[in-house]
Chain A
Amino acid sequence: MPAIFQTIYQELCQTLFRQSGFTAAAEPFLRQLIPAHRAGLYRARILSITPQAGCLRLRLKVSRRFPAFVAGQHLQLHVELNGRLLERTFSICSAEQRLSELRELELAVQIQPQGRFTGALPGTLCPGMYVHLSRPVGDFCFERQLPAYLIAAGSGVTPLFSMLSSISRLTQPMTFIYSFRGQTRQLFAMEWAALQAKFPLLRLVLWDSEKQGRLTPERLLGELQADLQAHFYLCGPQQFTVDFSSALLNAGVAKAAIRSESFGIVVPPNGEIQPVVLQLGQQSHQLGGHGSLLQRAEQTGLTVPYGCRRGVCMQCLCEKNSGVVRNLLTGELSDAGPGRIQLCVSEAVSPVTVKSVEISA
């Protein structure tokens, strides 16, 4: 029954307002009443901004409408930069209880000085300003099965820190290993002592790789004597999680006991043909060939909407999920995050995934 109401509601909104919903139609008016209102996104007010270890720690106040999250989940932070609404994905680093009790969230945004998004944040954001959040998603969550090893490298510590601070009571041993490069790069430096005091059963390993050398799977199993019966949560750069999970698997840890999440920035090698995945409707296609993404799609035998093939008519506009593309007209490089590109004037300079923008009937 609700499905039918949903359909009727949508058809009515399409007919009367040519919009997917009433709030989208009323957005111009709502914006007059609620500053910075945006349909489909949650508004958040910046309470404080603290630079720490190359990151910006954003303390955000959200309304009652913001849904509950599970520690370890991530969300998209949307910020209006020079008129453009740009978004990037970040893990929540605060405890679940802070949201339910204070309606507060915290994100640690790693600043890449060259990045179009994070590079512009320090000069743009100030306390009192509004940013927008998507609903928290992701299945990298703490299962509360102990004993557990939480192993983080670099800014991969954020979701694990949220998991740790969301725990109210530890009844079994738990190990938290955080590897960082130098004291100046250590996140949450002020909070570790308090957490250690709160949980006597917690074994906290703050691994300064500048002093102690790189944390490798061998050293985890050797020096740190990891318990192979435990559950493992890994978060860090792609290479880190791949190395650790394969080493743990080889050492006899069950596959189901390892959970990992990774991030990483791709550095484009020159002149190589990059793998491109084009998602059309429900199907994903690996593109062969060479040239612009549109040419490659066609050489692969796909029918993609196009028009002018010179970057004017916008018919081949697609949603890029990730990867860097070069604009063939201007030579401009895109950033690595999501964005809209025209296939006819874009060339992949890193592995790219693009998705056709679905046409609503």
Chain B
Amino acid sequence: MELKQSQQPDAVQLQALATELDQLLQTEKAALGEADAVYLQRLVFWQRCCALTGRLGLLLCWFSWWWLLPCILLLALAKILDNMEIGHNVLHGQYDFLRHPTLNSQRFEWDIVCDAKSWQRTHNFEHHTYTNIIGEDRDFGYGLLRLSDDLRWRLQNSWQLFTYFVLSTLFQWGIAYHELAAQRVFIGKKKPGRFSQISDRQLKKAFFTKARRQLAKDYLFYPLLCWPVAVPVLIGNFAANLLRNWWTSTVIFCGHFTEQAQVFQPEQCQNESRGHWYYRQILGSSNFSGPRWLHILTGHLSCQIEHHLFPDLPAWRYPALSAKVQQIAHKYGIAYNTGSFFRQYLTVLKRIWRYSWP
């Protein structure tokens, strides 16, 4: 199975593509306002409700172990909403125009071991600028998985389906360690010429501070606060974190590693035009369809293509945009990769399996 690049549009077409998409962005930006503020406030309110009822509910588990289950699901839901629809989008600066004192890209901190600033440096910059460029977007396979023939096959790739499962399980730690791995903070030799805005010491400090707080919260403070039922509460927190890890990793893998998601060579992208950048974002991402609640649970990363085109537009606006984007992509003969959630996920597994072998 070879990934074929569709007929690439020429410079004039790319320019026209950029103009159309820029126009779409401008119209959407002009509409920003009250509705976004209301949506965000409501979302945060319901997220807090889930978190509170989940945590209080865990306290009642003494009358039946089965009671744990809905509470874990509620807590996991709260964590998923906090990470995806609130955290991811707020940290992208999508809601900065509201000038909310805490729900903004500089102040917000999420319920995950990854330090928000570190994530912004790797994700917002590296991943969104160099999306799916081999060797430059380290989110492509996370340095663990081989998802394209452009990467040399190594023995450890033969069990990469298992590696993928482990990565999924420990996903929040993977994200937290992502920048430290790039800078070879603990292990490995520093890559020459790799630039970092902050020192290794600052990196380590941010990593340990956030990890300490998260671990203390879920596995020390909350269990101790609920002392007689400390163990079930601890288990509940652990399970909620696990569910969140699996869900986020699944959504993210569906966004970039589906069978048809294309990769690019650094040479193709030198001095690239805005049009080519748009073109690359469409081809490097994939959407999946589903009901509204599914979109919200994914933080609207189910509209990964729209997100990569317009990363700082409030995400709840993506589904309404997707028809227009699809139309534009069709007009310029650019493949618009979408399908049902299960179909897309299946192609992800297929791709991981396919590139396990040379």
Please give the residue numbers on chain A whose beta carbons come within 8 Å of chain B beta carbons, in ascending order. Answer: 14-16, 18-20, 24, 27-29, 31-32, 38-40, 80, 82-86, 303, 305-308, 312-315, 317, 330, 339-340, 357, 359-361
Partner of A83, one of B35, B111, B117: B35
Closest to A80 in B: B37
Q: Closest A residue to B22 by CB, please name it.
A: A329
Can you spell out 14 A-B residue pairs with CB atoms less than 8 angstroms apart?
Answer: A14-B109, A16-B217, A18-B109, A18-B111, A18-B213, A24-B102, A39-B102, A83-B97, A84-B98, A306-B197, A313-B124, A314-B92, A314-B93, A340-B96
* B111→A31 contact, CB < 8 A: no
Contact of A317 among B96, B217, B221 (CB under 8 A): B96
Docked pose: A32 CA to B41 CA in angstroms: 11
**Residue from B26, B97, B101 whose CB has the most chain A CB atoms within 10 Å:** B101
B209 at the interface (CB under 8 A from A): yes
A32 to B110, CA, bound (A): 23
Given contacts A32-B45, A83-B32, A83-B37, contact A312 B120 (CB under 8 A): no
Q: Decide: A315 and B120 in contact? CB cutoff 8 A.
A: yes
Q: Is the CB of B129 within 8 A of A312?
A: yes
Q: Which residues of B contact A340 (CB under 8 A)?
A: 96, 99, 104
| Contact partners of A31 in chain B: CB under 8 A | 41, 45
CB nearest to A26 among chain B residues: B48
- Alpha-carbon distance A85/B32, docked complex (angstroms): 13
- Interface size of B in residues (CB-CB distance below 8 Å): 45
**From A83, A85, A315, contact of B124 by CB (8 A):** A315
Q: Give the nearest-CB partner of A314 in chain B.
A: B93
Q: Which residue of A lies closest to B32 (CB)?
A: A83
Structural contact, B128 and A312, CB atoms closer than 8 A = yes
Provide the residues of chain A in CB contact with B125, threshold 8 Å.
Answer: 307-308, 313, 315
Whether the pair B213, A15 counts as a contact (CB closer than 8 A) is: yes
Contact (Cβ within 8 A) B99 A28? no
**Cβ of A312 and Cβ of B312 under 8 Å apart?**
yes
Asked if B124 and A312 make an inter-chain contact with CB atoms under 8 angstroms apart, the answer reads yes
Identity of the chain A residue whose Cβ is nearest the Cβ of B38 in the assembled complex: A83
Residues of B within 8 Å of A27, CB to CB, are 102
Smallest CB gap from B205: residue in A: A361
Please state if A357 and B110 are interface contacts (CB–CB under 8 Å).
no
Residues in B with CB closer than 8 Å to A14 are: 109, 213
Residues of B within 8 A of A361 (CB): 205-206, 209
Contact A307:B124 (CB < 8 A) given known A15-B213, A82-B34, A83-B98:
yes
CB distance from B126 to the nearest CB of A (A): 8
Give complex CA distance A312, B92 in Å: 8
Q: B99's contact among A24, A39, A40, A85, by CB below 8 Å, is which?
A: A85
B197 touches A317 (CB 8 A): no
Which positions 126-171 of chain B face chain A at CB distance < 8 Å?
A: 128-129
B204 in the interface, Cβ–Cβ < 8 Å? no
CA distance A20 to B109 in the complex (A): 11
In the complex, which residue of chain A has the Cβ closest to the Cβ of B110?
A: A18
CB-based contact B128/A313 at 8 Å: yes
A174 vs B290: C-alpha distance when bound (angstroms): 75
**Cross-chain contact B105 with A83 (CB below 8 angstroms):** no
A314, B45: Cβ atoms under 8 Å? no
- Which of A20, A86, A314 lies in contact with B96, CB distance below 8 A? A314
4 smallest CB-CB distances across A and B, nearest first, come from A83-B37, A307-B125, A314-B93, A82-B33
- Complex: A124 Cα to B63 Cα, angstroms: 54
Given contacts A308-B124, A314-B120, contact A84 B41 (CB under 8 A): no
Q: Which residues of A contact B109 (CB under 8 A)?
A: 14, 18
A83 touches B36 (CB 8 A): yes
Contact B99–A86 (Cβ < 8 Å): yes
A residues in contact with B99, CB < 8 Å: 84-86, 339-340
CA distance A84 to B98 in the complex (A): 4
Within 8 A of A (CB), among B178-225: 197, 205-206, 209, 213, 216-217, 221
Which residues of A sit under 8 angstroms from B37, Cβ to Cβ?
80, 83-84
- Residues of B within 8 Å of A307, CB to CB, are 120-121, 124-125, 129
**B78–chain A nearest beta-carbon distance, Å:** 12
B232 within 8 A of A: no
B38: chain A residues at CB < 8 Å are 83
User: Shortest CB–CB separation between residue B43 and chain A, in angstroms?
Assistant: 9
Inter-chain contacts of A85 with B (CB < 8 A)? 98-101
Closest to B108 in A: A18
Rounded to whole Å, the gap between the CB of B311 and the closest CB of chain A is 6
A31 to B92, CA, bound (A): 25
Q: How far is the CA of A121 from the CA of B346 in the complex (A)?
A: 54
Q: For the complex formed, measure the closest distance between the CB of B312 and the CB atoms of chain A, giving whole angstroms.
A: 6
Across the interface, do B107 and A360 meet the contact criterion of CB distance under 8 Å? yes
Q: Which residue of A lies closest to B126 (CB)?
A: A307
Task: Tell me the smallest distance from the CB of B324 to a CB of chain A, in Å.
Answer: 20
* A357 B34 Cβ-Cβ under 8 A: no
